[in-house]
A = this chain, B = another copy of it.
Amino acid sequence: MPAYATNMRLKFPILALTLELLTIVLFAVFVVYDDGKPSSDPHDPHDPHAGNHTQEGAPMDLYPMFQDVHVMIFIGFGFLMTFLKRYGFSSVGVNLLLAAFGLQWGLLMQGFWHMEDGKIKINIFKIINADFSTATVLISFGAVLGKTSPVQLLIMTILEITIFSINEHLVATVLHANDVGASMIIHAFGAYFGLAVARVLYRPGLKNGHEKEGSVYHSDMFAMIGTVFLWMFWPSFNSAIADPGFTQLTAVINTYLSLAACVLSAYAVSSLVEHKGKLDMVHIQNATLAGGVAVGTCADMNIGPFGAMLIGLVAGIISTLGFKFLTPILASSLGIQDTCGVHNLHGMPGILGGVAGIVAVAMGKKDGGNASMQAAALASSLGFALVGGLVTGFIMKIPLWGQPPDQNCYDDSLYWEVPDEEEESGESFAHADHSKNKAEV
């Protein structure tokens, strides 16, 4: 690929502005505020949430939950990916870009399934779901982090949220499956979608690693900001759209306890498998969160506090083992280079969550649940993810979108103005001037 192809000067601004203008036109035609008044149509009888938080409860009741989820999307996912030594600008910056566009696109794609009088009515419940829809993209972003251009990623955002919205509708409205914390429809979906994209974009040139694919001390600290905010607010993620009252309380408690148990098992296994019993930051940053993923589907079910803790315990173990043993095999044998190890944080724990949901429903832990429908929901989510991810990957591979060459992977300086001082070794902190980095591809 010729070097100039990575110059974003025209293609990125044109794509971004065109998408935004198109989105604004669609909003002008279709989107209104939810004023709380019933529509002239009867509510879609298949929509479990129709009118849920608009006609009952005050319009702002869910707002604190929304803000917790918002922090997870923008600080949590954004900073979790800043562990790479020279890719922090892209991690937190492109995370912001994709999520900001994705939430608008998600409002439209999810909204089209639930129109009233031909309009999408926005309320807090809808913007929580819009934030959720971006989470799929941010998970997939983790699989291809450092190896894709902003243009490629905007394309992935459009396609992934569109496909996500179809699967979500199928799972919730057609299958009537339970997935309150979205182990299946967000975490497993986002992970396998991203892994499929990563497979298509496989780079043999990175088989032996890359000098920039690693952390430095301070970048690992920044990543912990993301980890801890995700960890703290995960109870909000899993309970935000639960039925109000004691069901929501159950979702909070299950998630709180699953995450706490998961920390212990992740630390224990990290120490067990590492050199001289040391802890590995990669495990701590990620596997401590697997309990939140895995308890998602049955967060609002009556699985008992100890049931939630068992799920978290197992999730922490398989996630850490995945980082240690599976990720290298995926890269070497299957051609899947998973930068952030989303398979270990979202993929396997997401499937664990889906399976736990099947078992819990089969054991009668959720009124009205149907284990077959749960299984169908898991299969649907994986199927849409893999097929959707492969198709999306091939579209992203078209050599027009400024994909970085191997030697410039994991390096902000390809798409960002980067301050000089850390670019040229030997130059001290104190004497660096503030002129912009002129090194180019």
Contacts and interface: CB of A to CB of B under 8 A. Distances in A.
Nearest to A253: B122
Interface stretch (A168-176, A264-272, A376-384): A264-272
A253 B89 contact: no
Contact of A67 (B232, B244, B249, B274): B232
Interface string A228-262: 11011100100000001110111011001101110
Contacts of A430: 86, 422-425
Given A36-B246, A277-B12, A434-B215, A263 B429 contact: no
A261 B104 contact: yes
Interface in A65-96: 65, 67-68, 70-71, 74-75, 78-79, 82, 85-86, 88-89, 92-93, 96
Contacts of A249: 33-34, 59-60, 123-124
Contacts of A123: 249, 253
A244 B124 CA distance: 14
A101 B212 CA distance: 35
B31 A277 contact: no
A128 to B, nearest CB: 11
A157 to B, nearest CB: 11
A426 interface: yes
B85 A281 contact: no
B416 A278 contact: yes
B103 A260 contact: yes
A41 interface: no
A220 interface: yes
| Copies of this chain | 3
Interface in A1-54: 7-10, 12-14, 16-17, 19-21, 23-25, 27-28, 31-36
A25 to B, nearest CB: 8
Majority SS at the chain A contact face = helix
A114 to B, nearest CB: 16
Nearest to A283: B417
Interface in A292-350: 302, 304-306, 309-310, 313
A97 to B, nearest CB: 5
A279 B93 contact: yes
Nearest to A12: B271
A202 interface: no
A400 interface: no
Contacts of A281: 89, 93, 416-417
B278 A415 contact: yes
Nearest to A431: B425
A422 B218 CA distance: 10
5 smallest beta-carbon distances between A and B, as pairs: A214-B434, A425-B428, A9-B277, A100-B263, A8-B277
Interface of A: 7-10, 12-14, 16-17, 19-21, 23-25, 27-28, 31-36, 58-60, 63-65, 67-68, 70-71, 74-75, 78-79, 82, 85-86, 88-89, 92-93, 96-97, 100-101, 103-104, 122-124, 127, 150, 209, 211-218, 220-222, 224-225, 228-229, 231-233, 236, 244-246, 248-250, 252-253, 256-257, 259-261, 263-265, 267-269, 271-272, 274-281, 284, 288, 302, 304-306, 309-310, 313, 415-419, 421-426, 428-436, 440
18 contacts: A8-B271, A13-B271, A24-B306, A28-B306, A33-B246, A35-B246, A60-B244, A60-B245, A67-B236, A75-B232, A88-B221, A93-B284, A124-B252, A150-B267, A214-B432, A216-B419, A217-B421, A426-B428
